[in-house]
Every structure is written in C-alpha cells, then in structure tokens.
Amino acid sequence: MVRLPQHERAQIQTLERMMIRASGKSQIALKNAATVTQSRSYTSIQRVDGRRIIAVTANVVPGQANENQIPIDLKSEFLPYLAINYTGLQYGLQG
C-alpha cells in the first residue's frame, strides 16, 4: 500500500501525476492509465469485531413518507434483497 504525505493528498493533480509501474519496468502517470474522478467518501472505516460497519440515518418529512411503513418495507423487501446479493451482509434497525 502507498500513502502520500498529507500535503500531497489535498490536490487531485498530485494523484493524476503519480507515477505507476506499467508493463515491464516502465512507469507512466496514473492519468494516462485510468480515469480519475472525484467523489465523496468515508473519512474513516469503523469496525466492530473486525467487521466494517456503517450507520445509515434519515429524517422523515411529514406528509411525504409514512414513518411507520418505512421499517416494514426495509425488513420485508429491501434489506433481504441486499443480504441475498451481498454475501455476509448483516443488518439491524434501531431507533
């Protein structure tokens, strides 16, 4: 794993100019080998018993959604679908 110094991580141009090993021993700039796009990301990875966790929260706007129906739909439809498609996924609801 390679980690750039903090001051070099602040600009996307630094990442684009980073040299990577190509076939053989030649090196090329990352921007010539991949498309670099910016997006939002987690600032840290949280773990419980060695497993990654994520908390998803939401505010229900009165009149636009039924706050009682949302957990029912999550438990009966959406979360089971995710568990089938992502082996090892575990979930729980609180609140």
pLDDT, tens digit (0-9, with 9 covering 90-100), for 40-93: 776 788 899 988 888 888 888 888 788 888 888 899 988 999 999 888 889 988
Q: Dihedral sign, CA of 77, 91, 84, 59?
A: positive
Is the pLDDT at 1 greater than 60, yes or no?
A: no
Name the residue range of residue 17's domain: 1-41
Within-domain flag for 90:
no
Higher pLDDT, 3 or 29: 29
Q: How far apart are the C-alpha atoms of 55 and 93, rounded to whole Å?
A: 10
pLDDT the model gives residue 79: 92
Within-domain flag for 94:
no
Within-domain flag for 54:
yes
Report pTM.
Answer: 0.47
In the numeric block, the tokens 């498309």 are attached to 35
What's the residue count for the chain? 95
Within-domain flag for 91:
no
Query: Are the beta carbons of 4 and 11 closer than 8 angstroms?
Result: no
Number of domains in the chain: 2
